[in-house]
Amino acid sequence: MGKNNNANGKKLFGTDGVRGVANVEPVTAETALKLGRAAAHVFKNSPHKRHEIVVGKDTRLSGYMLETAITAGALSMGVDVLVIGPLPTPGVAYITRSLRADAGIVLTASHNPYEDNGIKFFDRDGYKLDDDIEKTIEGLVFSGAIDSIRPTAREIGKATRIDDALGRYVEFAKASFPKGMTLEGMRVAVDAGNGAAYKSSRCILRELGADVVSLNDKPNGLNINASCGSMFSDVIRKAVIDHKAQVGIAHDGDADRVLMCDENGHLVDGDDILAVIALDYLANGFLKNNTLVATVMSNSGLDAAIKAAGGNIVRTPVGDRYVIEKMRELDCNLGGEPSGHIICRDYATTGDGIVCALQVLRIMKQTGKTLSQLAKCFHRFPQVTVNVRVKEKKPFEELPEVTRLVKDTEKALDASGGRLLLRYSGTEPLARLLIEGKDKQTIEGYAERIAKVLREKIGA
């Protein structure tokens, strides 16, 4: 949910669109209608004679309400709407590009429970909007500057349902897998989390020849992410063992992320997946600029594995939008987060759970290795995290004892490839400390000393 006083001065948009409890501001029909009008006005200024916006959603009950409202808003501004129904977020981005629409809108709250919902926007190229465009849309919502713009007669927009959106996305995802290669002989368990991928992922895998065990693929509007999907990995891990599958795939509600598990039921998270794909890309000369983009939350062991193979890692703040921005800036083709947001930019403009999984399946096929064997390429550094409750979020640079101790610790960690991350929580009165290094006992000592000083200076 967007904050009223975030760093960018935005009132609706958070780090990933507008999000909150459905039918409570800002995720109401009234605000959705205003957002539809504002977005239509902004994108109608693009140099196209016909103006269209794609609207897709996940499987939440509230999606019907928001879809209708945001569509009505766009139509009232004289912009046509292409309604595609439930489809993964990356599918909405792809359909926006494929149909050459002016923009795309997806109604989803990702991994959150069904009570929540959200609104994300894509530009005509399928990328998330930058802050300036979001602030422009917000300004129009609150200023009333477009209230008087009321097209009439034949100038009012028209809504059209695109019946083949699912088929288009299935073919797009399949095209990321090598021609002539199949998944025949491979049993794959898939947990769709009763979300947007409830049809697409199983179709894609079956059409590529896999024997698919499909789980949680019967959404009813209320069961999205309900004790299933990527947030509840025990479900897919158990399914792999029970059905003797070679690999498991688990999506979140809008399927822009993926977690996997190997044939032994062991979890393979975003860092593992990044390591497997990046090392394959490096070995075959596919990793653009020999650089992988990751966030500050990725384990230091990932850096060690990539650097040992001749590659580099660039880190960004937490959030897939920052990963994508850095990838575009540096012209990189692989990046992601431990949560499973993996961007394979040769194929997609945003995190795409099934496209990412297909890259791992391709590597398994080409190398003849199991996923457990591939995942051994990456050895995690021990990690210690400490949360210190604080009475005020005083800038760390104003705490000389803390900054001095942090600098001394960072210097010691640098020698062994470890790292330290100290930051304030964005939603709670907490200072969050993360330390990674090769020796667990040593980094526990570092963490204890820093936490003690934090408690003395600003502890609640």
Torsion-angle region of 144 (φ positive above 0: left; ψ -120 to 50: alpha; else: beta): left
Residue of 76, 110, 298, 339 marked catalytic: 110
CB 224 within 8 A of CB 58: yes
Parallel, antiparallel, or unpaired: how do β-strands 419-424 and 103-107 relate? Answer: unpaired
Which pair of tokens denotes residue 78? Answer: 């004289």
What is the chain's alpha carbon radius of gyration, rounded to the nearest angstrom?
23
What order of strands is seen across the sheet that includes strand 52-57? 18-21, 116-123, 103-107, 52-57, 80-86, 159-161
The Cα 349–Cα 326 span in angstroms is: 13
Q: Is 98 a catalytic residue?
A: no
For the chain, the first-to-last Cα distance in angstroms comes to 26
Number of CB atoms found within 10 A of residue 184's CB: 10
3-state secondary structure 147-200: CCCCCCHHHCCCEEECCCHHHHHHHHHHCCCCCCCCCCCCEEEEECCCCCCCCH
CB 349 within 8 A of CB 357: no
Q: In 161-312, which residue ranges form alpha helices assigned H by DSSP?
A: 165-174, 200-207, 234-243, 270-283, 300-308
DSSP 108-128: --TTS-TTEEEEEEEETTSPB
Active site (catalytic) residues: 110
